Structure 1
Amino acid sequence: MKTFMNEHNQMMRLTEAIENIDQIGGGTRTGNALSSMKTLFKMAYRDNVPQILIVITDGKSEDGVNQTARDLRQQGINIYAIGIKDAVQQELEEIAGTKNKMFFVNDFDSLKHIKLQVKSVILTYSFFFFLYFLVCKNVRADIVFLVDSSNSIRPAEFQKIKDFMQSFVIKVDVGLDNVRIGLIQFSSEIREEFQLDRYSTIADVRRAIQEIQQIKLGTLTGKALTFAASYFDPPRGGRPELKQYLIVITDGEAQDSVKNPARAIRDKGITIYAINFKASREELEEITEDQERLFFVQSYDALENIHENLTQIVCEKSQPGKDDF
């Protein structure tokens, strides 16, 4: 393996270095190659600079890629996968984490036809990365995730919910003086994962999110909302003098009433957003009181498409002098 991270900071020298690399030959151990990227990206890390990995492959990997790719994404690395000819599309999706970040061509000559498309996607991501940095920098707010952990959610789908929360967290200015993050799971029972003043770094919050274990029982959303109300109080690390948000993620209709518990939360000045897969619009409007605060997604993969929008909304509304919509 030959790498150039941090070695070439001029276009001409980088182009020359790429021209001079020699093909290794041998098999296709994509998982092993992905694993080696972890250390390289850590060494090259710079504050407020996006980290992007483009994987180009023409065949099925001889080792697993799912976990190593997920580890990289959890590290904050945005992965794009380009498959050629005999590449396996499911494997490309496992690498990229979503179909929106994978490309496929039938032969090597066709790579030139997707060059502008790939460039456009990456430039768009980089633009929004810096936009989030500018909008979210120095924002002060309390954000609690209230996550449905019922048995109607399959393990792979629950992982996508965790990926969504991790993607959200990496774009805000996490810190005890800035954005505090809390997390509660609910099913037929409620599990307090961590309160608002538990973690002070993005890395710690993301690790804690990844370690949560699904409950897999019923869906008592009303009970969970009642429990969540006190999570924003000072004894739990809350700062009522700042903007406070509850983000509810659920995949089904509640088995109890949500109207009064949600109203009690809103009466404390807390803004509620709801992300839904199957629940009724009427029920979710009872939770948020405003359809503009609802996000309906058709699949768990589509979560990738809304975290950027939700992050920007929360950061903008948390700026001093801004009112909630």
Structure 2
Amino acid sequence: MTGRADQVELKEDEEKRLLKNLFRPDEKHKQIVLHIAFSCYNHWLTGCSRDVVFLIDDTTSINPIEFQNILYFLGNVINHLDIGPSATQVAMVTFDSGSHVQWYLNTHQNKTTLLSALHRVHPYGGNEHAADALLFIESNILVGSHGDRPSAPDVVLFLTDGHSVDGRLQHAAQQLRAKSSDIVAIGVEQADMLDLVNIATDRQHIINVRDFQSLLPVVSRVVSLICH
């Protein structure tokens, strides 16, 4: 009979495999290498009960390799959180000219299935309509029927590399902030700083990185903002 320690070890091995598989460059892109650091693998945060929504830009300005970097970054964020119905729940929505639900807060209740779902996410492409996406989160994701818990603070992690083409961004962000306790805004490359300022809770919740491979070093900061 398999002991509890063996079961935990098997579960952790599966989570590591899923995290590694989030970035598997093809022959054309073998020169792109990401360092996978598992030294702190088991040091996830306990006592952090949050309802977290990943709101991720998947417009045509982001190529497939860059999108894989985003998924790898998100996998590492998940890896640092204690996932479960009484701990942290995670939903994911990708957006372009429309908003696409990848899963709801109550869809995946453990880290293994969550990482597996992340591995299956693919970009749609299109123009960036961030205001519509923010309003979509407010009315369709942060609701009790899809797992939002009154006892758990809501945190939205917004990531983009561009500029919203609609003019209602500030209003939409204000409406979402009225419902969500925190919005962390991450801008990559040429992301519009004014958009990030309008979206984020405050300037301390804005993170800028020069390229998609530079997302990995800010994982700890993102986790700290989620669980502060």
Deviation beyond 2 Å, 4+ runs, structure 1: 42-49, 90-94
Amino acid at match of 2:9: Y
TM-score with structure 2 setting the length: 0.84
Amino acid at match of 1:171: H
Aligned to 2:177: 266
**Structure ranking higher on relative contact order (CA contacts 8 Å, 6+ apart):** 2
1:159-178 CA deviation, whole Å, 9 max, x = no partner? Answer: 11111111111111111111
1:186-214 CA deviation, whole Å, 9 max, x = no partner? Answer: 00011111110001111111111111121
1:114-151 CA deviation, whole Å, 9 max, x = no partner? Answer: xxxxxxxx7xx73x556x43xx1132110000010100
Point out the more displaced range, 271-280 or 305-314: 305-314
The correspondence of residues 164-175 of structure 1 with structure 2, limited to 5 A, is: 164-175=73-84
| Unaligned stretches of 5+ residues in structure 2 | 1-5, 23-28
Q: Does residue 222 of structure 2 align to residue 301 of structure 1?
A: no
Cα distance in 2 for partners of 1:228, 1:269 equals: 10
Percent sequence identity over aligned pairs: 22
Task: Kindly report the root-mean-square deviation, in angstroms, between the aligned alpha carbons of the 2 structures.
Answer: 2.7
Aligned residues: 213
Residue 44 of structure 1 and its aligned partner are, at CA, apart by 9.4
Structure 2 residue matching 1:173: 3-state secondary structure: coil
Cα distance in 2 for partners of 1:300, 1:249 equals: 11
Counterpart pick for 1:183 among 92, 109, 124: 92
| Unaligned stretches of 5+ residues in structure 1 | 1-41, 53-69, 76-89, 102-121, 318-325
Q: Does residue 216 of structure 2 align to residue 252 of structure 1?
A: no
The correspondence of residues 167-316 of structure 1 with structure 2, limited to 5 A, is: 167-230=76-139, 231-256=141-166, 257-277=168-188, 278-315=190-227
Amino acid at match of 2:155: Y
Structure 2 residue matching 1:176: 3-state secondary structure: coil
1:23-81 CA deviation, whole Å, 9 max, x = no partner? Answer: xxxxxxxxxxxxxxxxxxx99937889x99xxxxxxxxxxxxxxxxx856248xxxxxx
Counterpart pick for 2:65 among 131, 135, 156: 156
Aligned to 2:26: none
- Bigger Rg, structure 1 or 2: 1
Is this contact kept in 1: 2:18–2:119, CA < 8 A?
Answer: no
Structure 1 residue matching 2:80: 3-state secondary structure: coil
Is this contact kept in 2: 1:150–1:217, CA < 8 A?
Answer: yes
